[in-house]
Amino acid sequence: TTLWQRAGARAQASPPDHESALADIDRAAKLFEEMEARPSFARVLRDRARVLRAAGRTDEADGAEQRSKAIAAELGLKDFAP
């Protein structure tokens, strides 16, 4: 989760460092997926979508968001909007 937290800090910095944030998010996502930590994986994908959108990469953001919402729906996560 340290990578994930650092990604958030990098994305919110002034100016934001989207590429470094995405690198951290991608490493965290890989770890969560390997550990089969699906709730965390869904949430990190949601954050990946937010950073991609902020970086102007909307097509990639849409894909990450759809995947995160699908996992969240499957797991019944309450912190995802319908």
CB 69 within 8 A of CB 33: no
d(CA 43, CA 31): 13
The predicted pLDDT at position 7 comes to: 94
Quick one: tokens of 81?
């909007």
What are the DSSP calls for 9-63, one per residue?
HHHHSSS--HHHHHHHHHHHHHHHHHTT-HHHHHHHHHHHHHHHHHTT-HHHHHH
Average pLDDT, the chain: 95
pTM for this entry: 0.91
